[in-house]
Structure 1
Amino acid sequence: MDLRFRTRNVASASAFLSVAECRDIIRAMEDAPREEAQVVRAGQSVLDPSLRRCFDHHCPDAVTRPLGDRLTSHFDAHRGEFESDADYLYGPYFMSYEQGSYFRAHRDVANHKDDPPRLAAHRWSLLLYLNGRVATTDLPTFDGGALTLYETDPTLRDRRVVIVPEPGMLVLFRSSLMHEVATVREGTRYAVAGWMSSSSSHALGGRR
């Protein structure tokens, strides 16, 4: 897989996972318990469908740990390019977006003095897509659900970075960037999220 920086704050790697690996994780997600995804407001986790509508899937450790180790290793291998003090992964978390689901514009960092310390420690956000819009053997498809990131670099003519999910694609971006997931118009969008964080910023343990 080749890591490509689309801007100084947004990078991607195609084929981080194979189609077969994506299929296996989707099946594990479908078999796992799920619940409506929450958001953090003033330190509290709450349901807010005006901002976020999707599901969190609680996959077993046999799925979560190997994938987390793999994501961490990838980040470590490119540490110099990311110019970050992030040293462990918070996650991964498994999410599905059914028809009508979305995540309105937000940042993956603390926005309130009462927010959990872990949010202040987020440096780079990682999104791993398990399916896409184009039909692929054994993988479901969906329409809509693009990721839009809003760059802060004033030298860019267009500060919007739009990413159309593809099976196995890994996207990495600075957690301070505003971003959103467009409404899924058809099908189900499967994805995995994680955050490379700085252990020096708080006392919570992480994956190494």
Structure 2
Amino acid sequence: MNIAQPSGVDARTPSASRPTASERLRDFGTPEITPHVAVADRQRRKGEDTELLRELDGVIAAPEEQKSVTLAANDRAPGTARSFTRDVLTAWGAEDLVERSVLIVSELTTNAERHGRSAREAVSLPGAGGTRNITLTLALRADAVSIEVEDSSPKLPIPAVSFNPYSTSGRGLCLVSYAADVWVALPKEDGSGKRVLALVQRL
């Protein structure tokens, strides 16, 4: 699989100048910090973005560790996904990647639970059809973890063009952008849904 040239890529700043996860989250809550502006600035560094995507591709293609879980797409999914991520990364000795990874997993599974329906499911009557599922896959190689969330909607997520730091919704992809080194959304090859992938590197 080659994901080196997708559209909608978002990459973060070089590791030498990156703040800690706590500093990023603190800044995220500051009205003067507008994630969509920072994202636009990051997207201009195409060479750096490509290298990060190659790293993500490499972790997925040849992981040292890999584990998946399939969850029913209900309001318990994000909490279960967070616990799974925390337990797996701790077992792999990647405790320093837990904070950022849990945040990303929480936001991506919440989006999948809320918006990850296929067109057929979206128009179905309540109780019709089977249970929707979300699949979360974690992979580890060297100093990086890849996160992959699959759902049954082929509609790709679009980051908000404006941001209200006091809003209780609509912040998910902005948070993902700040916590991940790079993230990308791709339609599944068989058209049955999409995959959202993120890379978390050691600082």
Q: Which of the five TM-score ranges fits, normalised by the shorter chain? A: 0.3 to 0.5
Higher helix share: 2
TM-score (normalizing by structure 2): 0.33
